[in-house]
Amino acid sequence: MKHPRSTLSPWTALSRRTVLGLGAGLGALALGAMSVATPTPAAAQSAYPSRPVTLVVPFPAGGSTDLVARLVASRMTGVLGQQIVVENRGGAGGNLGSAAVARAEPDGYTILMGTVATHALNPALQKKMPYDAVKDFAPISLLALIPNVLVVSNDFPAKNVKELIELLKAKPGEYSYASSGNGTPLHLSGELFKSMAGVDMVHVPYKGAGPALVDVIAGHVPIMFDNLPPSLEQIRGGKLRGLAVTTKERAPSIPDLPTIAETLPGYETYSWNAFFAPAGTPKAVIDKLNAASLAALKDPEVSAKLADLSATVVGSTPEELATHVKDELAKWAPVVAASGARID
C-alpha cells in the first residue's frame, strides 16, 4: 500500500524549519539581552548611588540641625561621587519632613536628618504620630551631639548649680525659666532638671529660643536652658552667666564650665543629629551611606567646624544608632508624662 504523497514541497518544509530555528535563536538572543539589560538587585545596589541623593532636614534653614546637615553632606558628596541635595521641609516640630522620608521609596535616594525631637520627644508628646520612630526608619549613623547649657541673668543670686538647687528648694515656685516653646528639647531639659533635683520653677514658653534668650539677658526671666552655640557668645561677652552644660562631659569649647552632672549625678541632655533612611532600604545601601558619613566626619575641616558649633562628633554604626533611639524614647517618655506637656 502506497503512502499518500506529502502536499508540502521540500522548499516549504525547509522554510518552516528555518523559521522555527530562527524564532528559537531570536528568543535566546532576546533572553540574553534581557539578562544583560536588567541588572540584578545586587548589581543595582553595587552601582549605588547613580544619581543625586536628597537629604531632608525637617526644620527651617539656618538652625544647628541644618548647619550640621549641610556640613556633612558637602563631604559625603565627594565620597559617594553623587551630590547630596539638602531639602528643608519644616513643619509640625519636624514631623512633616520625617513622615515624608518614612513614606519614600526605600532605595537610598531619600534620607533624613533626624533629631532628638523627631525620634524621641515628638512620639512622647503626640498621641497621633504620622510615623513610627523605630519601625518606619532604617538607622544609618548618629553623627554628633550638641550640648545644651543652663544660663541665668547676670543679677541672679545663684552662682552655680548647687546654689541654684538650694535657692529653688527654699523658694518653690517663685522663680521661672524660659524655653524655646512647649514640648521642645529645651523645655524638657528644664523638666528633667526639676524632676531630678526635686525643685519647682515655673515654665515660660517662647516662640523660639532667640526671643527667650533676649528676655533672660534683660532679666525678665532669670533662668533658661538653651543650645550651647547661641549662648556661648553671650557667656563669653559677659551678658549671661553660664552655670553648667547639660552633657555628661564638659564642652571643649568652654572647658571651665562644669556639667550639671557634677552636682546632680546622672543628669544628661543634649541635642543630637543622625541619618535615617526609610525602613526596608537594602543593607548594602545603608552600609555605603554609613561609610560615607563616617568618612565625612573624619575630614579635618568638618570636625573643626563641628567643634565651632560645640558639637561632639560620634559617628556610630547603624546598630548603635538603633539602640540610641530606643534608649532616648525610654528616657524621655516619663519626663514628658511628668511635665504634662502635650502637642495634639
Taking the C-alpha atoms of residue 166 and residue 177, their distance in angstroms, rounded to an integer, is: 16
- Which domain-ending residue is among 262, 297, 316? 262
Inside any domain, residue 32: no
Inside any domain, residue 41: no
Please tell me whether residues 312 and 177 are part of one structural domain. Answer: no
Residue 45's pLDDT is 53
Inside any domain, residue 134: yes
Select from 133, 139, 136, 135 the least CA-distant residue to 116.
133
Inside any domain, residue 327: yes
Please tell me whether residues 288 and 325 are part of one structural domain. Answer: yes
Which domain CATH number covers 127? 3.40.190.150
Report the domain count for the chain: 2
Which domain CATH number covers 163? 3.40.190.10
Please tell me whether residues 293 and 238 are part of one structural domain. Answer: no
Strands 176-179 and 202-205: parallel
Q: Which residues contact 231 (CB under 8 A, 6 or more apart)?
A: 149, 151, 213, 240, 242
With 0.75 as the threshold, say if the pTM is over it. yes
Please tell me whether residues 247 and 288 are part of one structural domain. Answer: no
Please tell me whether residues 213 and 315 are part of one structural domain. Answer: no
Q: What's the length of the chain?
A: 344
Inside any domain, residue 185: yes
Mean of the pLDDT values across residues 129-154? Answer: 96
Please tell me whether residues 167 and 135 are part of one structural domain. Answer: no
- Which domain-ending residue is among 202, 234, 262? 262
pLDDT tens readout for residues 196-231: 999 999 999 988 888 999 999 999 999 999 989 889
Q: Read off the C-alpha cell for 224.
A: 533658661
Inside any domain, residue 19: no
Q: CA 296 → CA 79, 117, 124, 143, 316, distances in Å?
A: 8, 24, 32, 10, 13
Inside any domain, residue 21: no
Please tell me whether residues 131 and 178 are part of one structural domain. Answer: no
Taking the C-alpha atoms of residue 119 and residue 157, their distance in angstroms, rounded to an integer, is: 37
Inside any domain, residue 24: no
Amino acid residing at 312: T
Please tell me whether residues 249 and 285 are part of one structural domain. Answer: no
Residue 264 has pLDDT above 70, yes or no: yes
User: Integer distance in angstroms from the first to the last C-alpha of the chain?
Assistant: 97
Please tell me whether residues 141 and 290 are part of one structural domain. Answer: yes
pLDDT band at 171; cut points 50, 70, 90: very high
Helical H segments across the chain, by residue range: 10-37, 41-46, 64-80, 95-102, 116, 122-125, 161-170, 185-197, 209-218, 228-236, 283-298, 300-308, 318-339
Residue labelled with grid coordinates 528555518: 18
pLDDT tens readout for residues 46-67: 689 999 999 999 988 877 889 8
315 with 123: CB under 8 angstroms? no
pLDDT tens readout for residues 197-206: 999 999 999 8
pLDDT band at 166; cut points 50, 70, 90: very high
Please tell me whether residues 177 and 95 are part of one structural domain. Answer: no
Mean of the pLDDT values across residues 279-290? Answer: 98
Cis check: omega of the bond before 123, within 30 degrees of 0: no
The residues facing 148 across adjacent strands are: 227
Residue 21 has pLDDT above 70, yes or no: no
* Enclosing domain of residue 335: 49-145+271-339
Residue 306 has pLDDT above 70, yes or no: yes
**What is residue 179's three-state secondary structure?**
strand
Mean of the pLDDT values across residues 287-308? Answer: 95
Please tell me whether residues 137 and 277 are part of one structural domain. Answer: yes
- Which domain-ending residue is among 208, 238, 262? 262
**What is residue 3's three-state secondary structure?**
coil
Mean of the pLDDT values across residues 147-151? Answer: 95
Taking the C-alpha atoms of residue 230 and residue 210, their distance in angstroms, rounded to an integer, is: 8
Please tell me whether residues 139 and 286 are part of one structural domain. Answer: yes
